[in-house]
């Protein structure tokens, strides 16, 4: 997980909108994915490919991850999406997102196609990553095989709208809770995706919340997947960005505490600290399990660029 690139906020940008492609460069997202799928009408897809290639090559994306979501493999557009984008702007592309993944074979197809393109174009083989979006019952059932389908795979993503339709869920509120269900109807799905992702050292990303002006609603839903351990969430509107970056980063007190645990445990297990396996940090006993938990929080804080406001002082002998 530590080697993977941070994705707290994943901003969706329609490839058919030149205005939004230009605006996205200056927004504080960790990742921008330029969309050729649902956000682009069928007749607009050829021009959207050209727009995306130009936008990637024009630069100005800073440290954002540059991802293109192609169409799913049941459509006639996927092949040309991949060929045109990688041939046109592969040097400026970090990942290809494949939506509605239903089987490992679909990821294998994308892996092999990218390999052929990289070899032909003289790119480093394996440099372009893959993100797999799970959006139906078949994809969820096959998610373990999907997660092992390619060494390029970096991320498992939940796609709630198509998933809800695929299981006949009685709701039209995409990404939100259902007042008729006494709990979180997506809990099992999110946990299932998270287990597959963590088993194979992948990032797990929650899908969109379509009520784009309801930032409080977005934050509430985001807190649920963040509490489980998800790394980030899709953003459909700039107004959701701050909430995503906030929710999927640790609080300042939690980050400081995690760093103190790491320092205190490193000292306790050292020669100078007495080679202890467990030690007190204030009123808290910490041990190897504490260190592992603190590593998770500290890594998220470091990825978010947080700075410590406390420092560790070894206890006097």
194 within some domain? yes
Q: What is the pLDDT of residue 5?
A: 67
Cβ neighbour number for residue 187 with a 10 Å cutoff: 12
pLDDT in tens, 198-215: 999 999 999 999 999 999
Q: Which helix (H) or strand (E) holds 6?
A: none
Low-confidence stretches of the chain (pLDDT < 70) are 1-5, 172, 317
- Give the per-residue SS3 of 246-266: HHCCCCHHHHHHHHHHHHHHH
d(CA 300, CA 118): 32
- CA 237, 51, 158, 244 dihedral sign is negative
**Phi and psi based region of residue 267 (left: phi greater than 0; alpha: psi -120 to 50; beta: remaining):** alpha
Whether 50 maps to a domain, the answer reads yes
Task: Kindly report whether the global pTM for this prediction surpasses the value 0.85.
Answer: yes
Q: What pLDDT is attached to residue 2?
A: 37
Looking at the fold, whether 283 and 156 belong to one and the same domain comes out as: no
pLDDT tens by residue, 78-109: 999 999 999 999 999 999 999 999 999 999 99
In a domain, 264, yes or no: yes
One domain, residues 120 and 25: yes
What's the pLDDT tens digit per position in 245-281? 999 998 898 899 999 999 888 988 888 888 888 888 8
Instruction: Write out the DSSP string of 45-69.
Output: HHHHHHHHHHHHHH---TT-EEEEE
313 in any annotated domain = no
Residues 267 and 242 in one domain: no
Same domain, 195 and 271: no
Its domain, for residue 284, covers 252-303
In a domain, 52, yes or no: yes
Q: How far apart are the first and last CA of the chain?
A: 37
Identify the pLDDT of residue 281. Answer: 85
């Amino acid at each position: 997980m530590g080697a993977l690139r941070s994705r707290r906020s994943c901003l969706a940008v329609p490839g058919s909108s030149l205005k939004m492609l230009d605006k996205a460069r200056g927004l504080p997202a960790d990742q921008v994915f330029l969309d050729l799928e649902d956000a682009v009408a069928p007749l607009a897809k050829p021009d959207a490919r050209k727009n995306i290639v130009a936008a990637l090559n024009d630069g100005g994306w800073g440290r954002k991850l540059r991802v293109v979501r192609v169409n799913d493999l049941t459509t006639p557009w996927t092949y040309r999406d991949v060929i045109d984008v990688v041939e046109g702007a592969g040097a400026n592309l970090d990942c290809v997102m494949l939506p509605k993944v239903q089987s490992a074979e679909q990821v294998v197809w994308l892996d092999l196609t990218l390999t052929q393109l990289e070899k032909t174009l003289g790119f480093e083989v394996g440099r372009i990553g893959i993100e797999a979006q799970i959006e139906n019952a078949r994809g969820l059932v096959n998610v373990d095989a999907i997660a092992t389908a390619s060494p390029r795979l970096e991320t498992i993503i939940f796609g709630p709208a198509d998933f809800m339709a695929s299981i006949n869920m009685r709701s039209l509120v995409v990404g939100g809770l259902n007042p008729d269900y006494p709990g979180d109807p997506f809990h099992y799905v999110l946990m299932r995706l998270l287990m597959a992702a963590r088993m194979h050292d992948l990032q797990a990303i929650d899908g969109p919340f379509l009520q784009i002006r309801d930032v409080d609603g977005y934050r509430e839903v985001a807190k649920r997947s963040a509490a489980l351990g998800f790394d980030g969430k899709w953003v459909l509107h700039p107004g959701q960005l701050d909430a995503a970056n906030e929710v999927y980063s640790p609080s300042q007190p939690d980050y400081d505490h995690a760093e103190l645990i790491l320092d205190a445990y490193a000292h306790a297990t050292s020669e100078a600290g007495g080679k202890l396996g467990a030690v007190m940090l204030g009123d808290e006993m910490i041990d190897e399990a504490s260190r592992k938990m603190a590593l998770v929080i500290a890594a998220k804080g470091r990825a978010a660029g947080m700075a410590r406001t406390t420092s560790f002082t070894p206890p006097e002998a």
